Amino acid sequence: MAYRKRKGKDTWHWCRNCSNWPTSDYEEKPSKPAQGELCNECLSKDKAGTCTK
């Protein structure tokens, strides 16, 4: 699963159905980033089982 972060921001997303999922001007990492914040929406989608990876 890929992690994406919009350039200039510090929040990583990993759910493609997150309302803040970056589709342009982003950085992508193949595994959990060691630095930066994790998106709260992605976290709650993950917990609810509605995260599209």
Residue partners of 20: CB distance under 8 A and separation at least 6: 6, 11, 13, 39, 41
**Alpha-carbon span 38 to 19, nearest angstrom:** 14
- For the CB of residue 16, give the shortest distance to Zn ion in the complex, in Å: 9
Closer Cβ to Zn ion, 9 or 30, answer by number: 9
Closer Cβ to Zn ion, 27 or 41, answer by number: 41
Closer Cβ to Zn ion, 5 or 30, answer by number: 5
H helices of 1-53, where? 40-48
Contact set with Zn ion (CB under 5 A): 13, 18, 20, 39, 41-42
